[in-house]
Amino acid sequence: MDGDERVSYAELDARVNRVARVLSGAGVAAGERVAPALRNRAEFFEVAWAAARLGAEVVPVAWRAKDDEVAYVVRDAGARLLVREDDGPGAGMALSELRAARATAAAAPIDGAPDPAIPAFRYYTSGTTGRPKAVERERSPADRFVAAARALPTFAGLDRPAEVHLACGPLYHTAPCAYAQYGLLFGHTVVVMERFDAARSLELVERERVTWTHMVPINFVRIIALGPTGRDLSSIRRVLHGAAPCPPHVKRAIMAVFPPGSVWEYYGMTEGLATVITAEEWGRKPGSVGRAAAGTHVSVRGPGGRALGPGEIGLVYLTPSARFSYAGDEAKTAEAWDGDAFTVGDMGFLDSDGYLFLTDRAQDLIISGGANVYPAEVEAVLCEHPAVSDCAVVGVPDDEWGESVLAIIEVASPLDAGELIAFARERLAHYKCPRAVVAVDELPRDPNGKVRKRELRDRYWAGRATRI
């Protein structure tokens, strides 16, 4: 852990048994779901693996979300129990309650526990329509978790028996959670940062001899800003990055920080992994996100599903190893699939060698510092303010975060931008809230009344080849 706490695998096993008994006492059983809304701490792993021993599924929830956001996920998932920080949102078992109950619970093995008891995660994602939806697959979540973990040595070149993983992203996000859990499944040492700090991350790499980690571009920006640190980073074998576009100048700079050949990029989403590109390949194909990952197929399609040739820009489609659906949303599921391939709305092109280049993000989705922001959700909150007649939320260029959230407002009465931002922050996680507000007399609209968001975005992205 980031700090003085160290937990051996034997100690973790005993803690997991104790927590499993606590969860069982709270009504969690096989087929139920548990929702941890916890910071990056040992208890997150304890709850996940304890749920597995009870045959329950794990639904990670953002600990920094607001009450109604947490309530929605808990309700939609049908979670039996929410485990939250003492000062966290929602109504459930507080961390202090979990710890107190754990201290008096038996550490003996759980009768009837699956062997092996592998965590099954139910991740939520969304496009541009507001509330997130769970991604459900044909294979069981536990089987899928094991299959993905087994692919890690091939995907990331992590084939040594003794590895040390640095978990520096929020564990409620799909990728940081998955990679940390894979590390535990393989028996790696997992070093957990409660929150990312650039200098601290490099200190931990040096001290713990970290061999692999997962980061997003905003982490790179923070590390690069440190300048030369003199830290020994020679233990690093792989730095995986994704979740948001990485500007080429940032990529080149971070490749100079870490050992040669160690920075690998991937393009994927909760729905599936699409492409991977090594450092050497990126040097030959700068700006690419790579070729199709093992067991997948990537294509670019035009209107009517027509396959496009090299250099032609269209929707990016991925043919995965197993189908998925968006829980409770047949229309969204049908919209995503075209035969045996799906799209999340990203645009791009393949070159003659099969390398994918992204030219735009999904139509409205904002990716700020690696986190997804769904404009419809933010707009719904802003429109509750009495001074807002209508609004449009778009992503605008930000050298540090990639994109930042801008609210363009049709005002019903005089409005102070700071007041509106504060209003949003009382109702939404802060990373979703606008950093700036622009008031206009009238938003541009199509004849059917729909706001032309692309027109709004283009005003801020003018002069850039793409939004990336």
Q: Are strands 93-94 and 164-167 parallel, antiparallel or unpaired?
A: unpaired
99 vs 42, 47, 53, 95, 384, CA distance in Å? 11, 11, 18, 6, 39
**Of 263, 287, 311, which residue sits at a domain end?**
287
Query: Does one domain contain both 249 and 387?
Result: no
Tell me, what's the pLDDT at 447?
46
- Whether the Cβ atoms of residue 261 and residue 279 lie closer than 8 Å to each other: yes
Q: What CATH number should be reported for the domain holding residue 386?
A: 3.30.300.30
What share of the chain has pLDDT > 70, as a percent? Answer: 91
Tell me the average pLDDT of the chain: 87
* Phi, psi for 263 (deg, rounded to 5): -90, 110
Tell me, what's the pLDDT at 5?
87
Bond into 116 cis (ω within 30):
yes
Q: Are strands 272-277 and 314-319 parallel, antiparallel or unpaired?
A: unpaired
Tracing tokens 């070729």 back to the chain, one arrives at 291
Structural domain tally of the chain? Answer: 2
Residue 143 lies inside a defined structural domain of this protein = yes
233 CB burial (10 A radius; 0-12, 13-18, 19+):
middle
Residue 352 lies inside a defined structural domain of this protein = no
Q: What is the per-residue burial (b if ≥16 Cβ within 10 Å, else e) of 365-378?
A: bbbbbbbbbbbebb
Lowest mean pLDDT segment, chosen from 251-260, 267-276, 416-425: 267-276
Tell me, what's the pLDDT at 448?
45
Query: Does one domain contain both 386 and 242?
Result: no
Query: Does one domain contain both 379 and 255?
Result: no
Mind listing the pLDDT tens digit for each residue in 48-68? Answer: 999 999 999 999 999 988 898
Q: Is residue 164's pLDDT more than 60?
A: yes
**Of 238, 256, 287, which residue sits at a domain end?**
287
Residue 222 lies inside a defined structural domain of this protein = yes
- Whether the Cβ atoms of residue 19 and residue 42 lie closer than 8 Å to each other: no
Half-sphere CA count of 248, side-chain side, radius 13 A: 11
How is residue 242 written in tokens? Answer: 């994704």
Mind listing the pLDDT tens digit for each residue in 5-19? Answer: 899 999 999 999 999
Tell me, what's the pLDDT at 168?
93
Domain assignment of residue 399, given as a range: 366-461
- Whether the Cβ atoms of residue 448 and residue 338 lie closer than 8 Å to each other: no
- CA angle at 132 for the pair 131 and 136, rounded to the nearest 5°: 145
Query: Does one domain contain both 262 and 378?
Result: no
Query: Does one domain contain both 156 and 28?
Result: yes
Residue 412: strand, helix, or coil? coil
Query: Does one domain contain both 272 and 371?
Result: no
Residue 159 — very low, low, confident or very high, per pLDDT cuts 50/70/90? low
Residue 307 lies inside a defined structural domain of this protein = no
* Phi, psi for 212 (deg, rounded to 5): -155, 155
Q: Which helix (H) or strand (E) holds 291?
A: strand 291-292
What is the C-alpha separation between 214 and 226, in angstroms, rounded?
19
* Phi, psi for 178 (deg, rounded to 5): -60, -45
Residue 318 lies inside a defined structural domain of this protein = no
How is residue 49 written in tokens? Answer: 């693996």
**HEC string of 119-172?**
CCECCEECCCCCCCEEEEECCCHHHHHHHHHHHHHHHHCCCCCCCEEEECCCCC
What is the C-alpha separation between 208 and 315, in angstroms, rounded?
43
- Distance from chain centroid for Cα 374: 13
Half-sphere CA count of 396, side-chain side, radius 13 A: 16
Q: Is residue 468's pLDDT more than 50?
A: no
Q: 302 or 205, which is more confident?
A: 205
Query: Does one domain contain both 274 and 381?
Result: no
- Whether the Cβ atoms of residue 403 and residue 367 lie closer than 8 Å to each other: yes
Query: Does one domain contain both 146 and 247?
Result: yes
Q: What secondary structure letter does DSSP report for 460?
A: H
The amino acid at residue 50 is A
Q: What is the per-residue burial (b if ≥16 Cβ within 10 Å, else e) of 192-227?
A: bbeebebeebbebbbebebbbbbbbbbbbbbbbeee
Mind listing the pLDDT tens digit for each residue in 317-329? Answer: 999 877 889 998 8
Half-sphere CA count of 376, side-chain side, radius 13 A: 11
**Of 287, 315, 347, which residue sits at a domain end?**
287
How is residue 186 written in tokens? Answer: 């393989």
Residue 102 — very low, low, confident or very high, per pLDDT cuts 50/70/90? very high
Q: Which helix (H) or strand (E) holds 292?
A: strand 291-292
Q: 112: how many CB neighbours lie within 10 A of its CB? A: 10
Q: What CATH number should be reported for the domain holding residue 254?
A: 3.40.50.12780
Strand order in the sheet with 324-326: 124-125, 133-137, 324-326
Q: What secondary structure letter does DSSP report for 465?
A: S
How is residue 93 written in tokens? Answer: 């078992």
Residue 378 lies inside a defined structural domain of this protein = yes
What is the C-alpha separation between 141 and 147, in angstroms, rounded?
10
What is the C-alpha separation between 106 and 21, in angstroms, rounded?
8
Residue 223 lies inside a defined structural domain of this protein = yes
Query: Does one domain contain both 157 and 278?
Result: yes
Please name which of 105, 142, 146, 123 lies closest in space to residue 16, comparing C-alpha atoms.
105
Mind listing the pLDDT tens digit for each residue in 267-306? Answer: 988 888 899 999 999 999 998 999 998 888 999 998 888 8
Residue 211 lies inside a defined structural domain of this protein = yes
